[in-house]
């Protein structure tokens, strides 16, 4: 089939292609050898690269370099957070009152559920309905010890009402944000957020690097993993300074990345217009709610989800189905089910997330392929 070997990548929420300058930074860092903890000249050189990356990341998050703890990614950061909170509950000799949502990434949802089952937490959830509306009056936010939320939902692009949440929580509430998806696509997280978790490969750095921002009330949280003194003693193990150098380089141009979002929003809106006109009965989830500018989740009622997934893959268009780390699972997305979708609808929901480098001509060709796939399946 003519030109069908050409692939179109519309799955940026799973992983962003390397940014311009990232490859050069990677090659530069790999020309050095050393351990950042070594006192000799070569160790000091790679320590300088790591320190510069920390400075750039701190600025990009609206915090201080002293608040930045490097990790292997957002999943580790989320797991670190929940493990630390379990230790805090033991220290207080009582379960913590934790409020979260049912649309969290599995790296939060599963550890939170496990900790609650052990009695570490009294876990409550903010209801979010099929329209994407958060019912903040349904839970005692002002009395919560901890609020843990995603800043932007990875599967649908739905944004959390951060300004309203900030006003609703109590002065002693520890506020923790999973900002993996929002970091490069929205403005800096609120300074009131005590913990902010981010990931390198969601912004155009390689996979395997990430960070936790610990500030305000998060200072002094228990350390869940003991070992060496790296990362101020909070995350033991020799730092992946090569990857973090690339991460820092990308963060140095974070405002440039954020400036691209208006163009992506225009392209996303055109995607939705074209596919809704072609796919009879299709629904864009949360179309009237604040969303990530590059993300569209579209449900095709009545279509077999597995057939949809296979047909789109064969067409050469790469899109997402559920969270990337769980996309191969046969079960429908728990997050989408919690939002009121049926199992069939959840399975037949595809996520289009546009990378910043996508050209309108490339997108037009990809959309023609998607339109044909959907039209064919809807006729069956």
Backbone angles phi, psi at 175, to 5 degrees: -105, 120
- As a dihedral over the C-alpha atoms of residue 318, residue 111, residue 63, residue 151, rounded to 10 degrees, the angle is 50
Contact call for residues 334 and 102 (beta carbons, < 8 A): yes
Phi, psi torsion values for 43, nearest 5 degrees: -65, -40
- DSSP secondary structure letters along 4-49: TT--EE-BTTT-PPPPTTHHHHHHHHHT----TT--SHHHHHHHHH
DSSP β-bridge partners for residue 212: 69, 197
Residue owning tokens 């067409």: 315
- What is d(CA 19, CA 14) in angstroms, rounded to the nearest whole number? 15
Q: Which domains does the chain possess?
A: 8-18+257-378 (3.90.1150.10), 22-252 (3.40.640.10)
User: Tens digit of pLDDT for each residue in 73-124?
Assistant: 999 999 999 999 999 999 999 999 999 999 999 999 999 999 999 999 999 9
Q: How far is Cα 236 from Cα 229, in angstroms, rounded to an integer?
A: 6
Q: How far apart are CA 57 and CA 338, in angstroms?
A: 34
- CB-CB contact of 251 with 57 (8 Å): yes
Residue 123, beta-bridge partner list: 98
Nearest of 161, 163, 152 to residue 134 by alpha carbon = 161
Contact predicate 212/197, CB 8 Å:
yes
What backbone torsions phi and psi does residue 219 show, to the nearest 5 degrees? -65, 130
**Alpha-carbon gap, residue 339 to 230, rounded angstroms:** 41
Identify the three-state secondary structure at position 74.
helix
Read off the tokens for 302: 């009545």
Cα–Cα distances in Å, from 119 out to 89, 97, 123?
9, 11, 10
> In angstroms, how far is the first alpha carbon of the chain from the final one?
23
Number of residues that this document lists for the chain: 380
121 membership: H or E segment, kind and range: strand 121-125
Per-residue pLDDT at 379: 81
**CA–CA distance, 295 with 43 (Å, rounded to integer):** 42
Structure token digits, residue 97: 């009152």
Q: Residue holding tokens 């630390």?
A: 84
Give the bridge partners for 317, in sequence order.
8
DSSP 314-335: HTTEE-B-S-GGGTT-SSPPHH
31: how many CB neighbours lie within 10 A of its CB?
Answer: 7
CB-CB contact of 218 with 195 (8 Å) = yes
Reading phi first (left if > 0) and then psi (alpha if -120 to 50, else beta), residue 44 is in alpha
The low-confidence residues of the chain, meaning pLDDT below 70, are: 1-4, 323-330, 380
pTM (two decimals): 0.94
Query: CB count, 10 Å around CB of 23?
Result: 12
Q: Is 196 helix (H, G, I), strand (E, B) or coil?
A: strand
Helices (H), 172-300: 241-251, 254-259, 261-278
């Amino acid at each position: 089939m003519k030109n069908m070997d050409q692939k179109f990548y519309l799955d940026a929420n799973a992983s962003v292609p390397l940014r311009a300058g990232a490859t050069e930074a990677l090659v530069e860092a790999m020309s050095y050898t050393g351990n950042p903890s070594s006192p000799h000249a070569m160790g000091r050189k790679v320590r300088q690269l790591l320190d510069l990356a920390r400075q750039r990341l701190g600025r990009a998050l609206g915090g201080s370099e002293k608040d930045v703890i490097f990790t292997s990614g957002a999943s580790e950061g989320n797991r670190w957070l929940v493990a630390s909170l379990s230790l805090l509950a033991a220290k207080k000799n009582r379960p913590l009152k934790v409020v979260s949502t049912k649309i969290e990434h599995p790296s939060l949802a599963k550890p939170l559920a496990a900790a609650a089952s052990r009695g570490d937490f009294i876990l409550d959830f903010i209801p979010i309905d099929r329209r994407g509306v958060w019912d903040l009056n349904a839970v005692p936010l002002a009395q919560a010890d901890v609020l843990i939320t995603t800043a932007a939902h990875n599967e649908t692009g739905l944004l959390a009402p951060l300004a309203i949440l900030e006003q609703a929580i109590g002065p002693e509430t520890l506020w923790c944000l999973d900002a993996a998806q929002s970091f490069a696509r929205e403005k800096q997280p609120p300074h009131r957020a005590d913990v902010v978790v981010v990931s390198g490969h969601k912004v155009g750095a390689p996979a395997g690097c990430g960070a936790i921002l610990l500030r305000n009330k998060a200072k002094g949280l228990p350390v869940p993993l003991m070992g060496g003194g790296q990362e101020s003693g909070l995350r033991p193990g020799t730092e992946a300074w090569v990857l973090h150098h690339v991460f820092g380089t990308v963060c140095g141009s974070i405002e440039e990345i954020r400036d691209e979002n208006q163009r992506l929003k225009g392209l996303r809106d055109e995607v939705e217009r074209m596919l809704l006109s072609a796919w009879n009965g299709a629904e864009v989830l949360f179309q009237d709610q604040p969303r990530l500018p590059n993300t569209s989740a579209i449900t095709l009622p009545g279509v077999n989800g597995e057939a949809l997934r296979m047909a789109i893959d064969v067409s050469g268009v790469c899109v997402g189905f559920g969270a990337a780390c769980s996309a191969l699972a046969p079960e429908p997305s728990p997050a989408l089910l919690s939002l009121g979708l049926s199992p069939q609808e959840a399975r037949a929901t595809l996520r289009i997330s546009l990378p910043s480098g996508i050209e309108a001509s490339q997108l037009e060709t990809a959309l023609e392929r998607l339109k044909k796939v959907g039209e064919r399946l809807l006729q069956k």
